[in-house]
């Protein structure tokens, strides 16, 4: 029989024993248990997102863009006459190097590519970069040549070899006819949510022009579904959607834009 004066003490000891036995000890090897975050809790990675690839697009890993040297590349301003109209260019790079012609959207000009650093970057990476003020924009005079015929006349004057045309937004009205009518003038095509695309989709079916399509995920002007249709129509195309970017996606995500552009250019045959 247990004496009444030690019953409280004994009950406390028994409670402590069972409480301790129910908790597994931590060891140096295991440590405390930490739950892995669920997919909903894990931080989402932002950056360029490949939405769809053409039938012949490369699936090789994407190399990082090389950092350009610290030296300054001289950008020259020059003019060219076409059908009596004066056209203004900004240019840099070896005249004998592969040519990349940079067009622009309705609210921009050749100066946009200078400010973005694209002209200097391309020249440092071994390309001849030409940024054009389209007729009636920037320092270029208006021309009577219709947009659909303009580049067909201009491209043979700026290079004896096929060139790469980078064509954002409004400039699609100038560049898309080249893809459908004179693809031999192009070493590659880089449309950025180009205007006039719907009217050219059927004629783009089966096109083999190497094409890198850019679109902003938040583009409210030209729907992304058109970019997806364009990529499916062209057999050697790749669509890159820049997450969080709007219609001029190259301005919102210049580092991602330049990295993808350089990777594309290095894989072309000029």
Give the separation between CA 233 and CA 270, rounded to whole angstroms.
Answer: 23
Q: Which of 104, 109, 219, 256 is catalytic?
A: 219
Q: Which of 109, 159, 167, 169 is catalytic?
A: 169
Q: Which of 88, 104, 200, 247 is catalytic?
A: 247
Query: Does an H or E element contain 192, and which?
Result: strand 186-192
In angstroms, how far is CA 238 from the centroid of its own chain?
Answer: 10
Active site residue 169: yes
Q: How many residues does the chain have?
A: 270
For residue 152, give both structure tokens. Answer: 């067909």
Active site residue 258: no
Q: How would you list the strands of the sheet with 186-192, edge to edge?
A: 48-53, 237-242, 211-216, 186-192, 163-168, 99-102, 128-132, 85-92, 76-82
Active site residue 94: no
DSSP string, 20-39: HHTSPPP-TTT-S--PPPPT
Query: Which residues are catalytically annotated?
Result: 169, 219, 247
């Amino acid at each position: 029989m247990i004496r009444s004066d030690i019953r409280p003490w004994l009950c406390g000891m028994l409670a402590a024993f069972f409480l301790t036995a129910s908790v597994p000890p931590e060891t140096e090897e295991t440590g405390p248990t930490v739950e892995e975050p669920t997919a909903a809790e894990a931080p989402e990675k932002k950056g360029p997102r490949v939405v769809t690839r053409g039938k012949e697009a490369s699936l090789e890993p994407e190399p990082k863009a090389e950092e350009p040297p610290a030296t300054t590349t001289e950008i020259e301003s020059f003019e060219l006459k076409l059908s009596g109209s004066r056209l203004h260019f900004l240019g840099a790079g070896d005249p004998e190097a592969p040519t990349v012609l940079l067009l622009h959207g309705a609210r921009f000009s050749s100066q946009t590519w200078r400010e973005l650093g694209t002209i200097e970057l391309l020249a440092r990476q071994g390309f001849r970069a030409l940024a054009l003020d389209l007729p009636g924009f920037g320092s270029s005079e208006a021309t009577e040549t219709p947009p659909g015929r303009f580049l067909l006349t201009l491209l043979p004057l700026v290079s004896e070899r096929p060139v790469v045309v980078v064509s954002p937004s409004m400039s699609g009205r100038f560049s898309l006819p080249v893809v459908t009518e004179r693809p031999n003038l192009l070493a590659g095509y880089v449309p950025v949510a180009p205007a006039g695309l719907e009217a050219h989709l059927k004629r783009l079916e089966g096109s083999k022009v190497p094409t890198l399509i850019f679109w902003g995920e938040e583009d409210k002007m030209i729907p992304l579904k058109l970019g997806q249709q364009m990529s499916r129509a062209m057999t050697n195309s790749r669509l890159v959607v820049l997450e969080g970017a709007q219609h001029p996606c190259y301005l919102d995500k210049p580092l991602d834009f330049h990295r993808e552009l350089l990777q594309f250019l290095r894989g072309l045959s000029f």
